[in-house]
């Protein structure tokens, strides 16, 4: 791979759902596993920090951008290997996967509908909703490690927990996964109900990163923030949603600093009023990344 394969100074606000972020020093779209391997090896060879980007639905980029390479995972193939068993590229839409599988009468991923993540991002964060988690239907994960080596990791070798996966602790990239679903007569009905409920209770059509805070064991973060009277709280262009208090939205001109400040204020006020420590689940991507 040559340096000219990478674009330069690509504005990251165009590639994340928050609409925040300056330019990336380098930017590359990987559409095949081999391209992902080559891109990671190139970054390692040139000692350039890299960040793997999916749909950008859980990222907060710095206003200055990213002083490294952003590798956009666009590996979006999908194949049904046998009844109920699907192999999906990490760049495939997780919401679309949930919708399509439910339409065919396969249950297990109905909750994915409406989650604006890629398959890779959902696995990385162990995304979940309605009492379900991404890991519950996984059979294996295709992974390219930080040396560019491809491997298939079976689920029994991976430890997942609430919004946590083993992929969060090291470099490399998720490039695909195999899901095992079960036949379910009302899968489509449940999937539609989930989407309709989300449309009624969550702010669609505005720039956000979804839920910002992890749910404590005592109650949902949204309910706690709402009880503290923080809906509508603003810092610059960043605002606590009036519809769902765990959504911090970009009202049109929010900066990274606005969002970081608002997150800090919400945490401080909730702690002061309830004694509860809220923890952010959004991935902050600093301008200068010290690790590769």
- Convert the pLDDT of each residue in 16-72 to its tens digit: 999 999 999 999 999 999 999 999 999 999 999 999 999 999 999 999 999 999 999
Residue 118: name the closest of 71, 162, 150, 159 by CA: 71
**Measured between alpha carbons, how far is residue 117 from residues 45, 123, 131, 134, 184 in Å?**
30, 10, 18, 11, 24
> Between 2 and 191, where is the model more confident?
191
- Of 59, 110, 163, 188, catalytic: 163
- Of 59, 211, 228, 256, catalytic: 211
**Measured between alpha carbons, how far is residue 20 from residues 8, 41, 45, 86 in Å?**
18, 28, 30, 34
283 is an active site residue = no
**Triad 35, 37, 42: Cα angle to 5°:** 95
Query: Distance between CA atoms of 263 and 138, rounded to whole angstroms?
Result: 32
Contact 73, 90 (CB under 8 A): yes
Q: What is the per-residue pLDDT across 206-261, written as a single tens digit (0 to 9) for each?
A: 999 989 999 998 899 999 999 999 999 999 999 999 999 999 999 989 999 999 99
Query: Distance between CA atoms of 20 and 162, rounded to whole angstroms?
Result: 26
CB atoms near residue 272 (< 10 Å): 9
Which residues of 13-116 form beta strands (DSSP E)?
23-30, 50-53, 59-61, 66-73, 78-82, 85-89, 106-107
Average of per-residue pLDDT values in the chain:
94
pLDDT of 291 higher than 60: no
pTM of the model: 0.93
114 pLDDT tier (thresholds 50, 70, 90) = confident
Predicted local distance difference test score (pLDDT) of residue 201:
85
211 is an active site residue = yes
Strand partners, 10: 24
The label of the residue with tokens 């380098």 reads: 26
Contact 255, 21 (CB under 8 A): no
**Domains of the chain with bracketed CATH:** 3-73 (3.30.43.10), 78-187 (3.30.465.10), 203-275 (3.90.78.10)
Query: Taken in order 87, 40, 12, 203, is the CA torsion positive or negative?
Result: positive
Query: Distance between CA atoms of 128 and 108, rounded to whole angstroms?
Result: 11
163 is an active site residue = yes
Predicted local distance difference test score (pLDDT) of residue 140:
98
């Amino acid at each position: 791979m040559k340096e000219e394969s990478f674009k330069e100074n690509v504005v990251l606000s165009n590639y994340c759902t928050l609409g925040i972020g300056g330019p990336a020093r380098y930017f590359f779209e990987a559409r095949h596993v081999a391209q992902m391997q080559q891109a990671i090896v190139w970054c390692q060879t040139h000692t350039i920090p890299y960040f793997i980007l999916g749909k950008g639905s859980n990222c907060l980029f710095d206003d200055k951008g990213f002083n490294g390479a952003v590798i956009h995972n666009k590996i979006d193939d999908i194949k049904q290997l046998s009844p109920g068993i699907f192999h999906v590229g990490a760049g495939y839409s997780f919401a679309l996967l949930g919708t399509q599988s439910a339409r065919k009468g396969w249950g297990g991923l109905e909750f994915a509908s409406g989650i604006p993540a890629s398959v890779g991002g959902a696995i990385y964060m162990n995304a979940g909703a309605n009492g379900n988690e991404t890991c519950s239907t996984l059979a294996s994960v295709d992974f390219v490690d930080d040396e560019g080596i491809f491997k298939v990791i079976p689920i029994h070798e991976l430890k997942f927990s609430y919004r946590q996966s083993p992929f969060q602790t090291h470099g490399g990239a998720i490039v695909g996964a195999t899901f095992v679903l079960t036949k379910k007569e009302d899968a489509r009905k449940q999937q539609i109900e989930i989407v309709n409920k989300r449309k009624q209770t969550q702010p669609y059509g505005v720039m956000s990163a979804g839920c910002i805070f992890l749910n404590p064991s005592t109650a949902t973060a949204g309910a706690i923030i709402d009880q503290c009277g923080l809906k509508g709280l603003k810092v610059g262009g960043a605002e606590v949603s009036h519809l769902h208090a765990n959504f911090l939205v970009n009202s049109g001109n929010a900066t990274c600093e606005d969002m970081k400040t608002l997150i800090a204020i919400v945490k401080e006020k909730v702690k002061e009023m309830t004694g509860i420590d809220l923890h952010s689940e959004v991935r902050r991507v600093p301008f200068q990344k010290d690790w590769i």
